[in-house]
Structures are given as C-alpha cells and as structure tokens.
C-alpha cells in the first residue's frame, strides 16, 4: 500500500508512514497474539438441597434400624421360654431387647428394671435424634448444618453406649454379633452434615 500523504510505498500493517510519519488510517487493528481466552469454569459447588434430602433419608433410617437392625441373637432362658413361648424372635433388635427386658422385669430378675430403663432410653435416643435431623431439614432452619453435625455425633455416641449396655446384659441371654450398620449410618450422617454446613452461605451457617 501507499501513503495517502506522500505517496511512498509502506507496509500494509504500518500505523504510520516511515517516510513522512503520516498516520495510516486504513490499517486494521491487529489481533493480539497470546493465550486463547478460556471461559471461566464455576468452582465446585455443593447442592445444599440434595444434601438436605440425603440427611432426611439418613435421619429416617434410624427408625428402621430400631425395628430391623440385628445386633446378634437372643438365647432365652427356660423361665423366659415359659413367658414368651417359642415364637419369640431370635434376632436381637432394639425392639426385641426392650421386650426381653420387660419379661425379665415380670420374672423379678434382679437389675432388670434398671437395665430396661437404660436400654429403652439408649435404643430410642437415635430414633429421636434422627427425627430431629429430619425436622430441621424440612423446616430449613438456620445453622442446620452445624445442628445436624451435633445431633449426628450424639447419635453415634448413643449407638456406642447402647451396644456397651447390651454387652453388660449378656447374662440375660443376649449374644452380640453385629450392629455395624448403625455406626455406618451415623458416620455418613456426620459427613453429609459437614457438607451441608459448607454448602450454606456465610452468615447462615
């Protein structure tokens, strides 16, 4: 191309004429060469809604564990066979344990009344805590993540003390062999509660 002022030949990309210094008005702006722009990728985010649903499911599971989770086997004593008959379940669930201890109280076995109260409270405590977790997430109350962490840790402790109490009453015909699922559910509940706490905006935790 040629300069529009002096007529001298000049490079097509020159902004100014090298001969007279006049500005080249026909030059197109050069495209900057560099790293291609990368669209911003949103940071990893936690879906608080789905996490709360998971917490509600875990909270409701404690009610099912109360009725169906087997901690071992029940071996009825002869006197207990007379009271319950042969239809008494052999699986040692929380519900069956309470029924068994009620029978021990009826037979006048020493220490059965105290054991019944302790076991009943410890067996029902995870259920109550699970319902509390369920209600908190349904109501979407403030600090739900932190509250659920506290309730979940208490649930884990309650299961541990409950099993320790069962071991203390093995002389009543209890044989402990399982119950790990209760710990798995409680630990999972703690983990999800922590994620809910992290997913909540600052100031609402």
pLDDT of residue 47: 72
Please determine, for residue 197, whether its predicted confidence score (pLDDT) is greater than 80: yes
pLDDT of residue 21: 78
What whole-number distance in Å separates Cα of residue 15 and Cα of residue 22?
9
DSSP string, 85-116: -TTS-SB--HHHHHHHHHHHHHTT-TTHHHHH
Please determine, for residue 76, whether its predicted confidence score (pLDDT) is greater than 70: no
Please determine, for residue 174, whether its predicted confidence score (pLDDT) is greater than 90: no
Query: 152-162 b/e with 16+ CB inside 10 Å = b?
Result: bbbbbebbeeb
Q: Domain residues of the chain, as ranges?
A: 1-30, 48-199
pLDDT tens, residue by residue, 38-74: 444 333 456 778 888 999 999 999 999 999 998 888 7
Length of the chain: 205
Please determine, for residue 121, whether its predicted confidence score (pLDDT) is greater than 90: yes
pLDDT of residue 57: 94
Is pLDDT larger for residue 32 or for residue 81? 81
Range list of H helices, the chain: 48-68, 78-84, 94-106, 112-139, 144-168, 180-199
CB 99 within 8 A of CB 181: no
């Amino acid at each position: 191309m040629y300069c529009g002022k002096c007529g001298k030949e000049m490079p097509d990309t020159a902004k100014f004429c090298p001969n007279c210094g006049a500005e080249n008005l026909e030059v197109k702006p050069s495209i900057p060469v560099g790293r291609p722009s990368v669209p911003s990728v949103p940071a990893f985010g936690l879906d608080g809604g789905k996490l709360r649903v998971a917490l509600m499911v875990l909270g409701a599971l404690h009610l099912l564990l109360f009725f169906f989770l087997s901690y071992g086997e029940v071996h009825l004593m002869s006197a207990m066979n007379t009271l319950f008959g042969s239809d008494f379940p052999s699986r040692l669930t929380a519900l069956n344990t309470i029924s068994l201890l009620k029978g021990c109280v009826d037979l006048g076995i020493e220490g059965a009344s105290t054991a019944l109260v302790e076991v009943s409270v410890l067996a029902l405590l995870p259920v109550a805590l699970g319902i509390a977790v369920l209600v908190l997430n349904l109501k979407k109350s403030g600090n739900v993540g932190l509250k659920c962490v506290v309730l979940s840790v208490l649930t884990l402790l309650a299961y541990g003390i409950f099993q320790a109490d069962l071991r203390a009453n093995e002389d009543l015909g209890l044989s402990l062999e399982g119950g790990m699922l209760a710990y798995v559910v409680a630990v999972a509940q703690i983990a999800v509660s922590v994620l809910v706490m992290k997913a909540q905006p600052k100031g609402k935790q």
